[in-house]
Amino acid sequence: MAAIQQPPPRQLAAEHIDHSRGRVARRSRVREVIFGMQDGLLTTLGLVSGVGGATADRNTILLAAIAGSLAGVFAMGAGAYISSKSQLEVAEAEVERERRELSEHPERELEELVQLFELEGLPENDARVVADKIAQRPHAMLNAMTQKELGLQLGSAQPRAEGLVMGLAFLVGSLVPVAPWALFSTRATAGPLGLGFSPALLWSVSATLVVLFAMGAGKSLLARRPALVGGIEIAAIGALSGCAGYLLGTFLPRALGAHLGGLQ
């Protein structure tokens, strides 16, 4: 049986580079998804818990939740887009400045590249040989100085994609704490200190904590950290957010002399 012929090393190296870049890009999107969903979960949980603590009217709670969720979607999406676009514009300006310096002071820029290679551990002679070879190609020289001197990666910034992903992730996250308020009873019976917990509130908090725990555990696994610790950490933050919102919604109307019928 003939042995399977392996692709040449150059082809294997090219495939590995593409695979590594794709993995890094996917993980960057995962970060945006996690951040957007986490914000959608926590912000909306605090909102619906607060409104649910102030009133038992389902329509009022859902209207507030929908308005808050849509506002959050646009705010997160626009914020991510503007931030990424601003960062890209600043980076492009720095690259253009570097391009002018390469044109006006090529010898100085060559010496800078030599020193940058030396800082990475190359002996001076080897660093100069490598830098001389790169300097023969203006585009390669600009890329080398952009990455090594400025520490920039222009191809990694995608403002539209980042804004869209962040906004959609926030929307998906916000649905989790909102859905129970449309499915379960919003009426709570009075308990100690006038506190009461409706089925909708309990399901909203429980569902949010489960999703937050799963996200925290998954994020920790990607970072090669203990999944349990990461899950508990984010779930605890979610629990605090829900409690704070509920307590504010319960006691703030009383402090202001308002009564919205939160308990029966």
139-168, pLDDT tens digit by residue? 988 888 888 888 777 666 788 888 999 999
pLDDT for 177 equals 93
Q: How far apart are CA 14 and CA 22, in angstroms?
A: 12
What mean pLDDT value characterizes the chain?
A: 81
Which pLDDT value is given to residue 263? 43
pLDDT at 262 over 50: no
Distance, in Å, from the CA atom of 242 to the CA atom of 50, rounded to the nearest integer, reads 8
pLDDT in tens, 57-81: 899 999 999 999 999 999 999 998 9
What DSSP assignment string belongs to the chain? -PPPPPPPHHHHHHHHHHHHHHHHHHHHHHHHHHHHHHHHHHHHHHHHHHHHHHB--HHHHHHHHHHHHHHHHHHHHHHHHHHHHHHHHHHHHHHHHHHHHHHH-HHHHHHHHHHHHHHTT--HHHHHHHHHHHHTSHHHHHHHHHHHTS---GGG--HHHHHHHHHHHHHHHHHHHHHHHHHS---B---GGG----HHHHHHHHHHHHHHHHHHHHHHHHTTS-HHHHHHHHHHHHHHHHHHHHHHHHHHHHHTT---B-B-
Return the percentage of the chain with pLDDT > 70, whole number: 79
Task: Return all residues near 17 (Cβ < 8 A) that are at least 6 apart.
Answer: none
pLDDT, tens digit, 9 for 90 and up, residues 181-196: 999 988 876 655 556 6
Higher-pLDDT residue of 24, 261: 24
Domain boundaries, the chain: 34-251
Helix axes 9-54, 58-104, angle to 10 degrees: 140
Residue at token pair 């002679």 = 125
Which has the closest alpha carbon to 42: 178, 168, 166, 167?
178
pTM: predicted TM-score of the whole model, two decimal places: 0.74
Closest CA to 28 of 220, 157, 169: 157
- pLDDT score recorded for residue 248: 74
